[in-house]
């Protein structure tokens, strides 16, 4: 408890970026490799080891292949330039270092040009399990391996292009649900069983277990319009995970012009994060165990 009303605790992004300057337009900066301490590298190694012990059989094959093909370092925070050589050769994507969360239009501009913004700094040892903001472990370990998959790589670029359009049309909150329920929290059905491809899950030990094993959340087949009506959770595990059949399905379903879809959705009510509709393709109806009754976003 702090009784000084003028005292503002600096958030971790501000603290980590002290003394650094980013480009005022695109928010990029050279990755400050000299700022990583021995403790940072050890924290990375712990996070990497924890996830890699658990993800085989849980993460989709494309993610595991990406991790291997890019030779993502196990024992230290990776040098973006080194990984970029392989990433560029594979799909023409590259990572750019940024201070943290960046404005939507800057983010979309990067994606539309096959640049993935990666927060350069790493969480601290007491934050292994939860961090509100994205850090280099979430952004790089969670997101980047899938960028060597050509179909997913094209999907993410198309999302960036769609993002700029949605912002101009005033439908950004609707489109944001697509990013949330696919890029961050998506599941994919495979002949070997359900697998994870969403980065928000892949970078979290507890959600990597929960999303597949728990009876609590719904698991519902991907349907673009249904998904874009659904609110979501930012403070708890998801109440619903949407399951795609393939990255090709995701790419094709989202390759259409969204303008008439946005208009159609305006006439329909939004759905709660845990709602199940009669028309849903249900893999599992959650038993709602432990669901928070606070508001969905
Ligand atoms: Fe993310």
CA atoms of 76 and 210, how far apart (whole Å)? 27
CB 163 within 8 A of CB 151: no
- Binding-site residue set: 138, 143, 184
Distance (angstroms) between ligand 1 centre and the Cα of 273 equals: 19
Mean pLDDT lowest among 8-22, 108-122, 144-158, 238-252: 8-22
Domains delineated in the chain: 23-284 (1.10.800.10)
How remote is the CA of residue 293 from the centroid of ligand 1, in Å?
25
Q: How far is the CA of 263 from the centre of ligand 1 (A)?
A: 28
Q: What angle do CA 57, 205, 103 make, to 5 degrees?
A: 110
Mean pLDDT of the chain: 93
Q: Is the pLDDT of residue 63 over 50?
A: yes
CA of 2 to the centre of ligand 1 (A): 32
6 has pLDDT over 80: no
**36-45, 121-130, 237-246, range with the lowest pLDDT:** 121-130
The Å distance, Cα 61 to ligand 1 centre, comes to 19
Å from CA of 31 to ligand 1 middle? 18
The Å distance, Cα 108 to ligand 1 centre, comes to 13
Give the distance (Å) from ligand 1 centre to CA of residue 95. 13
- Which of the four pLDDT bands, split at 50, 70 and 90, describes residue 2? very low
Phi first, then psi: what are they for 185, rounded to 5°?
-130, 30
Q: Which positions make up the binding site for Fe cation?
A: 138, 143, 184
Q: How far is the CA of 204 from the centre of ligand 1 (A)?
A: 11
Q: pLDDT (tens digit, 9 = 90+) per residue, 126-170? A: 988 888 889 999 999 999 999 999 999 999 999 999 999 999 999
291 exposed, middle or buried (CB, 10 Å; 0-12, 13-18, 19+)? middle
Q: How far apart are CA 190 and CA 59, in angstroms?
A: 11
Between the CA of 259 and the centroid of ligand 1 the distance, in Å, is: 25
CA of 220 to the centre of ligand 1 (A): 21
Ligand 1 centroid distance, CA of 41 (Å): 21
CA of 1 relative to ligand 1 center, distance in Å: 31
Please indicate, yes or no, whether the overall pTM of this predicted structure exceeds 0.85. Answer: yes
């Amino acid at each position: 408890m702090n009784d000084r009303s003028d005292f503002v605790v600096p958030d971790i992004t501000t603290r980590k970026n002290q003394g650094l300057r980013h480009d005022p337009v695109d928010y990029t900066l050279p990755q400050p490799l000299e700022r990583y301490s021995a403790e940072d590298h050890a924290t990375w190694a712990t996070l990497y080891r924890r996830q890699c012990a658990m993800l085989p059989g849980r993460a989709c094959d494309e993610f595991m292949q990406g991790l291997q093909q890019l030779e993502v370092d196990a024992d230290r925070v990776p040098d973006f330039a080194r990984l970029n050589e392989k990433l560029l050769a594979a799909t023409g994507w590259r990572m750019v270092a940024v201070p943290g969360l960046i404005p939507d239009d800057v983010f979309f501009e990067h994606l539309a040009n096959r640049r993935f913004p990666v927060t350069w700094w790493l969480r601290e040892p007491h934050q292994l399990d939860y961090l509100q903001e994205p850090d280099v472990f979430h952004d790089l370990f969670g997101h980047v391996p899938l960028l060597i998959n050509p179909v997913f790589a094209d999907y993410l670029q198309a999302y960036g292009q769609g993002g700029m359009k949605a912002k101009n049309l005033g439908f950004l909150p609707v489109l944001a649900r697509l990013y949330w329920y696919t890029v961050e929290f998506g599941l994919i059905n495979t002949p070997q069983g359900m697998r994870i491809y969403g980065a928000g899950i892949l970078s979290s030990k507890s959600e990597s277990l929960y999303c597949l094993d728990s009876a609590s959340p719904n698991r519902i087949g991907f349907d673009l319009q249904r998904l874009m009506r659904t609110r979501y959770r930012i403070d708890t595990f998801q109440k619903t995970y949407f399951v795609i059949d393939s990255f090709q399905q995701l790419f094709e379903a989202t390759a259409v012009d969204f303008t008439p879809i946005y208009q159609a959705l305006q006439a329909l009510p939004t759905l709660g994060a845990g709602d199940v509709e009669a028309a849903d393709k249900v893999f599992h109806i959650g038993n709602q165990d432990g669901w928070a009754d606070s508001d969905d976003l």
